[in-house]
């Protein structure tokens, strides 16, 4: 299958075996036969990214899901992402290769909790991060991603805004919009939460000329050490356009592998230990093939939740 090889940057490289190549070919052939589009998040395993028709962050994958003409969407990501694809394509089949691919952050708020949050602050709009389940989106006025969170909050006329569930992304937005007051839910991404300032400083000591690129789901203390803060897509674009040759990447390991693949002439490092999202790694090639062969794990959302949650996603897409 895939052989993990240690590197000098705190990650492992994956050597693709002939067995994996064979699986990839079977998946591509079957997807073409069934008129299925394969979407993969940047945090996915490299061998899964290689079979995708589109690779991106949450916002770009939402856009691709909205405009696809395929009969079927196979979403190589986590559950809330597949739900978003279903919200934008209610009449199409959306499959998730492994139903265990959840999200630690999304688990921190439920629909009932979102309603209680609003009841505690009556009259204020709720902006929910796309990293939430459909039942939370259904209780929200509008959704956002890490790419457009600042623009989304700016688009609202209200002076005070509720923001859930990521308090760190909320703090990042607050810093950029000081004339508004964000009241944030006490949630966070477990994968980014483990990135500590001392880890960044230790890596920077080893690579003093490297620029530090950080995801806004990191803590404010970590973001203070960054040369650039942005979504996974924004970090990828920054690294590609920058004249600098070395970068320290403060997010999930999947982006690091993607950057190495895109820009082999540059050097990309992680902190130690390298952050990995366990949920993203549930998606493997054999599971992608199985769900395609048997139409397994279709995403289903109750109609009343679908209508309200879809509205919050559509409002987000209209802003950007």
Within a domain: 275: no
What is the pTM assigned to this prediction? 0.90
Q: What pLDDT, on a 0 to 100 scale, did the predictor assign at position 284?
A: 96
Q: Domain count of the chain?
A: 3
Residues 257 and 290 placed together within one structural domain of the fold: no
Q: Which residues contact 215 (CB under 8 A, 6 or more apart)?
A: 146, 192, 229, 230, 231, 232, 235, 250, 251
Q: What pLDDT, on a 0 to 100 scale, did the predictor assign at position 9?
A: 53
pLDDT digits (tens, 9 = 90+) for 206-242: 999 999 999 999 999 999 999 999 999 999 999 999 9
Residues 95 and 142 placed together within one structural domain of the fold: no
Q: State which residues form the domain around 214.
A: 191-269
Within a domain: 12: yes
Residues 110 and 75 placed together within one structural domain of the fold: no
Q: How far apart are CA 71 and CA 52, in angstroms?
A: 16
Residues of the chain with pLDDT under 70: 1-15, 320
Extract the tokens encoding 260: 């190495």
Q: What pLDDT, on a 0 to 100 scale, did the predictor assign at position 104?
A: 97
Residues 182 and 202 placed together within one structural domain of the fold: no
Q: What pLDDT, on a 0 to 100 scale, did the predictor assign at position 168?
A: 98
Residues 162 and 134 placed together within one structural domain of the fold: yes
First to last CA, the chain: 41
Q: What pLDDT, on a 0 to 100 scale, did the predictor assign at position 320?
A: 63
Residues 110 and 128 placed together within one structural domain of the fold: yes
Extract the tokens encoding 306: 């679908």
């Amino acid at each position: 299958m895939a052989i993990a090889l240690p590197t000098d940057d705190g990650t492992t490289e994956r050597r693709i075996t002939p067995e994996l190549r064979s699986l990839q070919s079977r998946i591509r052939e079957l997807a073409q036969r069934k008129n299925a589009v394969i979407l993969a998040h940047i945090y996915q395993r490299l061998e899964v990214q290689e079979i995708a028709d589109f690779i991106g962050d949450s916002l770009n994958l939402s856009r691709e899901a909205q405009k696809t003409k395929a009969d079927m969407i196979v979403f190589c990501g986590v559950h809330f992402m597949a739900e978003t694809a279903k919200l934008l394509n209610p009449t199409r089949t959306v499959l998730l290769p492994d139903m265990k691919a959840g999200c630690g952050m999304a688990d921190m708020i439920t629909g009932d909790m979102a309603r209680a949050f609003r009841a505690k602050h009556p009259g204020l709009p709720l902006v929910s991060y796309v990293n939430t389940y459909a039942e939370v989106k259904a209780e929200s006025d509008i959704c956002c991603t890490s790419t457009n969170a600042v623009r989304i909050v700016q688009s609202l006329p209200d002076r005070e805004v509720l923001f859930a569930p990521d308090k760190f992304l909320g703090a990042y937005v607050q810093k950029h919009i000081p004339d508004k007051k964000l009241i944030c839910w006490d949630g966070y991404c477990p994968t980014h939460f483990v990135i500590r300032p001392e880890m960044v400083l230790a890596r920077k000591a080893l690579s003093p000329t490297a620029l530090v690129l950080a995801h806004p789901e990191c803590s404010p203390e970590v973001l203070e050490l960054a040369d650039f803060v942005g979504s996974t897509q924004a970090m990828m674009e920054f690294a590609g356009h920058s004249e600098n040759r070395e970068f320290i990447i403060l997010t999930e390991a999947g982006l690091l592998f993607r950057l190495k693949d895109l820009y082999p002439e540059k050097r990309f490092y992680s902190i130690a230990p390298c952050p990995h999202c366990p949920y993203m790694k549930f998606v493997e090639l054999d599971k992608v093939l199985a769900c395609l062969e048997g139409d397994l794990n279709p995403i289903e959302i109750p109609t009343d939740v679908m209508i309200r949650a879809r509205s919050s996603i559509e409002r987000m897409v209209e802003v950007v």
